Amino acid sequence: MKDSEHKDGTVGKALAILDEIAMAGRPLRLSDMLATSAYPKATLYRFLQTLTSQGMLAYDHERQTYRPGLRLVRLAHAAWKQSSLAPVARPYVDALSTELGETVHLAQLDNGQVLYVDKRNAVSPVEMFSQAGKIGPAYCTGVGKAMMAFLDAAELERLIPKQAFHAYTAHTITSADALRTELVAIRKAGIAFDREEHEPNIICIAAPILTPAGRVVGGLSVTSTTTRHSLGALESMKPALTGAATQIGKDAADWLFPEQDRTGI
């Protein structure tokens, strides 16, 4: 299939290059990318010039390297404010974190992955942008599994092939079938656990954020460590967690679709 290969024309190609640089996690030079990238030298060069001139990339003269540019930060602020659940969820996330005294994560699905859009850490106050915008695997995080469990079949089948099923720990789910089984259980329970599936000693309880109509819009989780809590202790937080998730879902629906199915009158 010629999918991401040559679609969305010039703009798509430019954004693919942007992604490559962002994902690299370190400044790249032209020759670095030449090895990986599908484009010939002159073409790549021109794209880098354009993106730099646009402020989407920052160019380091001394080292001749390209990094993601600050214009992205500006644009993302708008995206976060207008398109993420964070502004709506903020009061509930605050309250939950204060009430439980634990770290709370707010996430949304983006392209088969978990995108963290907010975080409240009860212990050390701020650590935010360091977390907001961060992505994680869906198949081995609490929020990821909670959200997937409540997707309709068609959407779920689109996401499953995108999972890497890399075994981060001995507890990581490593097959699509095992994941499907787990998701059925989560759907029944209404809650998901991360049993040290992503990082050793890190456990969490997570709930999906659903609109009253049942559409998945995000996920909410409380994270702790095995030294501080047992899974059972986390389970006792379920009422507070699902309560907050329900409220956020309701507010989000009003925000997203102000005209609701008003059956009365």
Q: Between residues 62 and 177, which has the closer beta carbon with respect to DNA?
A: 62
CA 192 to chain centre: 16
Question: Among the candidate windows 40-48, 67-75, 130-138, 171-179, which touches DNA by CB under 7 A?
Answer: 40-48
Nearer to a second copy, 70 or 233 (CB): 70
Which one of residues 1, 11, 123, 154 is an interface residue with DNA (CB under 7 A)? 11
Asked if residue 12 binds a second copy (CB under 8 A), the reply is: yes
User: Is position 41 an interface residue for DNA (rule: CB under 7 A)?
Assistant: yes
- Tell whether residue 53 is a contact of DNA (CB under 7 A): no
Is there binding between residue 118 and a second copy (CB under 8 A)? yes
- Judge contact between 128 and 152, C-beta under 8 A: no
Could you say whether residue 29 binds a second copy (CB under 8 A)?
no
253, 183, 176, 180: which is closest to 217 by C-alpha?
Answer: 253
CA distance 94 to 240: 12
CB 240 within 8 A of CB 260: no
- Asked whether position 162 contacts DNA by CB under 7 A, the answer is no
**Is residue 226 within the footprint of a second copy (CB under 8 A)?**
no
Q: Which position has the token pair 């730099």?
A: 52
By CB under 8 A, residue 96 contacts a second copy? no
What residues pair up with 119 in beta bridges, in sequence order?
Answer: 105
Rule CB under 8 A: say whether 108 interacts with a second copy.
yes
Query: Site residues (CB under 8 A) for a second copy?
Result: 7-12, 14-15, 18-19, 21-23, 25-27, 47, 50-51, 53-56, 58, 60, 62, 67-84, 86-87, 108, 110-111, 115, 117-118, 120, 125-126, 128-130, 132-135, 256-257, 259
By the criterion CB under 7 A, which residues form the site for DNA? 6, 9-11, 13, 29-31, 34, 39-43, 45-47, 64
